[in-house]
Structure 1
Amino acid sequence: MGTTTMPGEVTRPGSAGAAARLVEAADELAADGSYEQAYRHLRTAVRLLSSLTGGVDELDRLRREYAEAREQSRRDSLTSSYNRRYLDEHLAALLDDRTVRSSAGVSVAFVDADHFKQVNDRFGHRFGDRVLQCLVDELALDLPPGGFCARYGGEEFALVLPGCDIASAVRTCEAARHRVDSHDWAALDPALRVTVSIGVAHGVGPVTDVEQLVDAADTLLYAAKHSGRNAVAYRDEQTGLVRLAGAAAARRSIVQPA
């Protein structure tokens, strides 16, 4: 005996059932932190449901979950900043964007929390996690349109600043360094002080490779650290020499990378 289909009902229960199983599996994967796999399951479920008649509400729900899972796959689970995968993909897209390249280009800054191992050793890793979360809040403030903060690994972060020449990028990073230095860290512990070192590189014209730009920013970061920390290092585009921004510019010893 055949089944009767009412108006608005799903007419392909096999596909709908498969979609439901995919959603259930996606929920389990997301609960385990496997956001990329969950994203793929939801994407397949959306495709199945989009071919059915009816089921509009279910399709809308899956699309929302699909978008949420995709966003989670781009985020660092501890700090909610973007992760390294998103950094690599988005930076490559920016460097390939003719509009961006024909304007001020893209600046990338690498940020490292100074002596962070001492924070973990003295206060514990859970406390250190809270410090990193506060640090990201300060770094992510007042970025230019399209700019973002990404966790590169451990206590190292990247700031991507599209449409910024080196001068404006250095100003943005020096402001971020100052915010971190002047933050009320005593609210977490009276003995705590946190500073950061930053290296800023500028990609425009011939600089079209992500690895090249990242390496340049990393080199400048270590120049900042080896020049006394709590500083922003950049390369003077006229002389090619490494300079320090703000108050650190008065330091006598500025390390020049080989």
Structure 2
Amino acid sequence: MTALRPEVADPDREGGPEAPAPASEGTGLVQLHESIATLLASRGQWRQAYQHLRSAFDLVHAGREEQPKVPEQLRREVDRLRREHAEAREQSLRDSLTDSYNRRYLDERLVALVAERGATTGGLAIALIDLDWFKQVNDTFGHLLGDRVLQRVVELLQAELPEHGFCARYGGEEFVIVLPDVDVTSAIQITEAARMRVERHAWASLAPGLRVTVSIGLAYEPPAAETPSRPPVAPEQQLLRADSLLYTAKQSGRNAVAYREGGRVRLAGAASGRRGITEPRVSGY
């Protein structure tokens, strides 16, 4: 970054509150702002970098009646760099196939949500979702159509999520829906509605004879106000609970949402009437 040179004060003009800083001092401040701007820019902190560049310009032109504006070209360049950085950051958090969030974003967001637990009035729901018999889909219809199925499932899962809810790819044909600041009844309704959207979708439009369903394990952590003496449950533990309940949904006939209520494992919606519900592999509660 080219150094900006401050204007030297007129020796016949008396110093005062409005007099520019001595040349050596002004030069040092300008260089300091430029160095900070360079460091911030290297970290992608474009707004702060721009502010330090503006301060450098102000120092260079200190004492003039009219303060010049930062050149429009520089402003556009900073805005472009900031936009590109934001886009690159967003892409790094997305799954390349389904465009849902990836495991990296999921891990980061869950840690933040657990840290915010005391500031919300609702609980945190985590639903682990697995496509039923997906290997058969790939074996019967091919992997290209299997990829299209994964993309369509994500679209259906995300279709009616609340404002702060999101879907992330957990791995393979497993996905996670995260629902912050919700009550348990709403969490069950949202996940059961997602399951039904997948089941009722016109899959035959992709390939004759194609049918796709999902099984879901729903773990729910109540708000801190309801359990003030209990430490927050770590994200890994909630995912473990959801995985255990997913096992129950699959072993109890698939195409169902399994959750825990009053110490008992239950199935939501139409699956609630099934007999012989399998207990989770590990309780974790």
State the TM-score, normalizing by the size of structure 1: 0.79
2:61 equivalent in structure 1:
none
**Counterparts in 2 of 1:41 and 1:116: CA distance versus 1, 3 Å:** farther
1:208 partner SS: coil
1:82 equivalent in structure 2:
101
Please list the CA deviations of residues 21-43 of structure 1 after superposition, one character each: whole Å capped at 9, or x if unmatched.
xxxxxxxxxxxxxxxxxxx9672
TM-aligned CA deviation for residue 241 of structure 1: 1.3
TM-aligned CA deviation for residue 48 of structure 1: 6.7
1:111 to 129, 154, 160: 129
2:245 equivalent in structure 1:
220
TM-aligned CA deviation for residue 122 of structure 1: 1.3
* Residue 246 in structure 1 maps to residue 269 in structure 2: yes
Within a 5 Å distance, the mapping from 1:74-223 to structure 2 comes to: 74-97=93-116, 98-100=118-120, 103-204=121-222, 205=227, 206=230, 207-223=232-248
TM-aligned CA deviation for residue 168 of structure 1: 1.2
Structure-1 separation of matches of 2:235 and 2:95: 20
1:63 equivalent in structure 2:
82
2:44 equivalent in structure 1:
43
Contact 1:113 1:196 in 2 (8 A): yes
Contact 2:123 2:184 in 1 (8 A): no
1:224 partner SS: helix
TM-aligned CA deviation for residue 145 of structure 1: 2.3
* Residue 73 in structure 1 maps to residue 92 in structure 2: yes
2:44 partner SS: helix
Structure-2 separation of matches of 1:46 and 1:129: 39
Please list the CA deviations of residues 200-246 of structure 1 after superposition, one character each: whole Å capped at 9, or x if unmatched.
0011344431111111111101110111100000011x2x1110011
Runs of 4+ with >6 A deviation: 44-50
TM-aligned CA deviation for residue 71 of structure 1: 0.7
Identity %: 55
Please list the CA deviations of residues 89-144 of structure 1 after superposition, one character each: whole Å capped at 9, or x if unmatched.
111111111222xx221000001000101111111111111100000000002112
Q: CA RMSD in A?
A: 2.7
Q: Which runs of 5+ in 2 are unaligned?
A: 6-29, 58-70
1:8 equivalent in structure 2:
none
Q: Which amino acid aligns with 1:85?
A: R
Structure-2 separation of matches of 1:211 and 1:256: 20
Contact 1:96 1:208 in 2 (8 A): no
User: Which structure is larger by alpha-carbon Rg, 1 or 2?
Assistant: 2
State the TM-score, normalizing by the size of structure 2: 0.72
